[in-house]
C-alpha cells in the first residue's frame, strides 16, 4: 500500500495544486508542513485529516494506509452526495456580470444527500485572483446569506449586476474586497458606503470540475 505521504502527493498533483496552495487551503502556516507529510517525515492529525479527506474525497482509513485503494473506491461508491445548482460563473478577478439562471447541477463530494440544499448554491470561478483558495474553473460553493463577518470569503454583487468572489473586510463606512492570489497583478477593491455592494452568499468550499 501507499504511504500517507504518497497519497497526499498523488491527490494534490491530480488536482493541480502546489504545496503552497494546499497549505493555504488547510490554513497551515507554511508549505514546509506539506513537504514533511509527503516525505513521510510527519503526518497530518485531527482537523488536518478531516480537511484532506474532504478535499480529496477519500476515507480517513485510506489516507492513513488502513485500507486499499479498491476498498476506498468501493466505500465512496456506496455514499450518496448532494446535488447543487450552479448559477453560472463568478469572477475571481474583476467583477463579472452575474448569471442568475441555473446552468447545471453538480455533485458535491463533501456534502451528503441528506442535508437541505435549498440554501446552498455554486458558481464556477473564472479567473485567478482567488487561486490560493479556489483554482480557476473550479466550482465555488456558497450558503445563501446576506451578511458575513469581516475576514470571511463571500460571493458579492457589485453595482447591481456584477458578481465577484473575494475576502470581505468591513471597514468604517467602507467595504474592501481582497484577492487571495499568487498573481501579483490583483489588488484590493475598495467601495464606499453609498456604492451598491451586496453579499449573496458565504463561501463554504469548492469542487473540482473533474469531480462534479
Selected catalytic residue, list 129, 132, 167, 202 = 129
Local structure of 142: helix, strand or coil: strand
Residue 207 near residue 141, CB atoms below 8 Å:
yes
| Cα distance between residue 166 and residue 156, in whole Å | 7
Local structure of 130: helix, strand or coil: coil
Catalytic (active site) residue 75: no
Selected catalytic residue, list 89, 132, 166, 167 = 166
Residue 176 near residue 188, CB atoms below 8 Å:
yes
Catalytic (active site) residue 208: no
| Cα distance between residue 199 and residue 175, in whole Å | 11
| Cα distance between residue 86 and residue 101, in whole Å | 8
The cell numbers describing 191, all together, are 467601495
> In the Cβ-directed half-sphere of 141, how many Cα atoms lie within 13 Å?
23
Catalytic residues: 129, 166
Amino acid at each position: 500500500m501507499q504511504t500517507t505521504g504518497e497519497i497526499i502527493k498523488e491527490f494534490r498533483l491530480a488536482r493541480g495544486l502546489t504545496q503552497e496552495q494546499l497549505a493555504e487551503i488547510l490554513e497551515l502556516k507554511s508549505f514546509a508542513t506539506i513537504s514533511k507529510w509527503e516525505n513521510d517525515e510527519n503526518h497530518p492529525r485531527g482537523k488536518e485529516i478531516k480537511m484532506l479527506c474532504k478535499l480529496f474525497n477519500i476515507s480517513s482509513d485510506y489516507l492513513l494506509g488502513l485500507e486499499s485503494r479498491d476498498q476506498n473506491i468501493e466505500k465512496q461508491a456506496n455514499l450518496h452526495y448532494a446535488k447543487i445548482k450552479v448559477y453560472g460563473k463568478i469572477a475571481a478577478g474583476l467583477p463579472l456580470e452575474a448569471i442568475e439562471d441555473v446552468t447545471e447541477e453538480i455533485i458535491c463530494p463533501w456534502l451528503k444527500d441528506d442535508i437541505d440544499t435549498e440554501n446552498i448554491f455554486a458558481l464556477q470561478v473564472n479567473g485567478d485572483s482567488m487561486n490560493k483558495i479556489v483554482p480557476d474553473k473550479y466550482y465555488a460553493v456558497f450558503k445563501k446569506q446576506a451578511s458575513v463577518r469581516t475576514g470571511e470569503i463571500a460571493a458579492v454583487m457589485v453595482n447591481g449586476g456584477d458578481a465577484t468572489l473575494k475576502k470581505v473586510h468591513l471597514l468604517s463606512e467602507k467595504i474592501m474586497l481582497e484577492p487571495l492570489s499568487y498573481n501579483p497583478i490583483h489588488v484590493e477593491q475598495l467601495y464606499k458606503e453609498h456604492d451598491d455592494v451586496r453579499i449573496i452568499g458565504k463561501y463554504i468550499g469548492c469542487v473540482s470540475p473533474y469531480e462534479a
